[in-house]
């Protein structure tokens, strides 16, 4: 019986589609309910804007400082040329990891949001802010399916047999090189888009939980600090651009354009 359970739990499909969301949801519920409610006499900011102002004041009072590191798309494009062989060899694992991370973040934050609503820490105003990153993470799952459909049969086996140079120039023809280049770029850009959506969703969930008291509220406060970078309209615009670019790459539109040029 135990061996049967271990075999079931070790199945990649079970881990990706069942266990990772389950673990994420459990952790989200636990970490949200462990936050102590604020004193009844304490002011209770009702909106995202009010809570953000309180959070910024707390961060400045604690003397937390940081420097913004820009997300450079050019680096991702350059790296795509280098990792063509890696994509061919490990694309299946990368897509599986993409699904795992997306489902974990989504289930964790959805569970936290439900717990926040039950504790009356998250109102309809907050849910409006949570809607976009949640929908975006669902879009990540769709992009991962597109990436799976674009895999070339036997590419992983051939990539493991040949080195980078031989595989790229001797095994692949021009059509396959263009296809794998656009697919690898689509996965990389899609991963960045998923990271943006996950950070935005976690940021707003963290803001709602750091309004309480106790050690766990302090933990959420630090999470909010590290995920605050993409707050605001710029984060939404960047996510939309990245998701759109990933879809254009994975759907074969860019590939068709390249083939017309060659």
Mean pLDDT, residues 92-100: 90
Q: Which two tokens stand for residue 205?
A: 């969930």
DSSP reduced 3-state for 138? helix
236 domain-assigned? yes
Instruction: Please count the structural domains in the chain.
Output: 1
Residue 118 pLDDT: 76
Q: Which helix (H) or strand (E) holds 26?
A: helix 20-33
Domain holding 222, by residue range, is 80-261
204 domain-assigned? yes
Q: Could you tell me which residue, 57 or 219, shows the higher pLDDT?
A: 219
* Contact criterion met (CB below 8 Å) for 174 and 241: no
Q: Is the pTM of this model over 0.85?
A: no
56 domain-assigned? no
Mean pLDDT, residues 21-28: 50
What distance in Å separates the CA atoms of residue 196 and residue 137, rounded to the nearest whole number?
9
41 domain-assigned? no
Residue 140 pLDDT: 94
240 domain-assigned? yes
Residue 22 pLDDT: 52
* Contact criterion met (CB below 8 Å) for 44 and 211: yes
* Contact criterion met (CB below 8 Å) for 189 and 89: no
């Amino acid at each position: 019986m135990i061996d049967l359970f271990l075999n079931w739990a070790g199945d990649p499909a079970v881990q990706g589609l069942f266990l990772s969301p389950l673990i994420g949801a459990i952790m989200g519920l636990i970490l949200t309910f462990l936050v102590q409610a604020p004193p009844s006499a304490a002011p209770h900011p009702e909106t995202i804007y009010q809570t953000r102002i309180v959070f910024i004041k707390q961060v400045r009072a604690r003397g937390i400082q940081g420097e913004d590191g820009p997300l450079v798309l050019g680096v991702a494009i350059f790296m795509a040329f280098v990792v063509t062989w890696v994509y061919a060899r490990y694309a299946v694992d990368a897509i599986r990891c993409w699904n795992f991370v997306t489902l974990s973040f989504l289930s964790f934050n959805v569970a936290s949001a439900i717990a926040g609503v039950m504790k009356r820490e998250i109102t309809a105003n907050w849910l409006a802010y949570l809607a976009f990153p949640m929908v975006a993470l669902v879009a990540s799952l769709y992009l991962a399916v597109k990436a799976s459909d674009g895999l070339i049969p036997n590419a992983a086996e051939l990539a493991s047999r040949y080195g980078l140079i031989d595989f790229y120039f001797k095994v692949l023809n021009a059509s396959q090189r263009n296809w794998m280049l656009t697919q690898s770029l689509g996965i990389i850009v899609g991963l960045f888009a998923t990271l943006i959506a996950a950070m935005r969703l976690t940021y707003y969930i963290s803001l709602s939980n750091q309004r309480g008291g106790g050690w766990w509220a302090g933990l959420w406060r630090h999470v909010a600090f590290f995920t605050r970078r993409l707050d605001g309209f710029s984060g939404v615009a960047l996510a939309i651009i990245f998701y759109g670019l990933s879809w254009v790459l994975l759907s074969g539109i860019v590939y068709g354009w390249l083939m017309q040029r060659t």
